[in-house]
Structure 1
């Protein structure tokens, strides 16, 4: 079997992280979990993932800062799916302006996330 595609997941909710890790690894992906944006940037720089999943609101470094770092400092075109709680339209628009590929409003269906991930990682 070929090497599994790597996904960096930046999410400060440990229950959601474990659920998504379980669900995506079941689909054959390798998940690297960051509990905040600072750790996410370190994992992205070290592992060069095929996809990045990031929450917007996180301690230390926000999801918006992660997107900006990936697009502007690292100059990567890696697909980025952003999560955020509903009712934050300005932040979502800012995420797209910075280079986010897709957006999902929390709470979301892990099954829907798997479909979106597969679509981006064809």
Structure 2
């Protein structure tokens, strides 16, 4: 099971990466929205975890691009901090499957990922 993490915060990115590697996932990481879209195109992930606020390409644009693909349904979980309710609503409108508020519990995130990937 391949998981793509798109997160510009180094500490969050590395923490989430280590958690899911321990859970047995093949993890691909991207440091910003542009890198995230490139890695999405080249790695064919089974699930995507993305921050909403990213340099170059926003997490909302990533959700829109992924969910507009015909014939393939890839779950997307978005991260956001407090005070971004309008962006969270937009992410759901664009097709995001889950929302996790920062700071978040790694255990809760793992449960949500496993539920969406049935792994």
TM-score class, shorter: over 0.9
Distance in 2, matches of 1:26 and 1:54, equals 19
Cα deviation code 1:37-79 (max 9, x no counterpart) = 111111111111110000000100000010111122x334200
Distance in 1, matches of 2:83 and 2:56, equals 22
Structure 2: unaligned runs, 5 residues or longer: none
Residue 100 of structure 1: aligned partner? 96
Deviation at 1:121, TM superposition (A): 1.0
Deviation at 1:87, TM superposition (A): 1.7
Distance in 2, matches of 1:108 and 1:71, equals 24
Residue 87 of structure 1: aligned partner? 83
TM-score (norm 2): 0.95
Residue 32 of structure 1: aligned partner? 28
Q: In angstroms, what is the RMSD of aligned CA positions? A: 0.9
How many pairs align? Answer: 117
Residue 40 of structure 2: aligned partner? 44
Q: Which runs of 4+ in 1 moved over 6 A?
A: none
Distance in 2, matches of 1:18 and 1:89, equals 26
Residue 116 of structure 1: aligned partner? 112
Distance in 1, matches of 2:60 and 2:39, equals 16
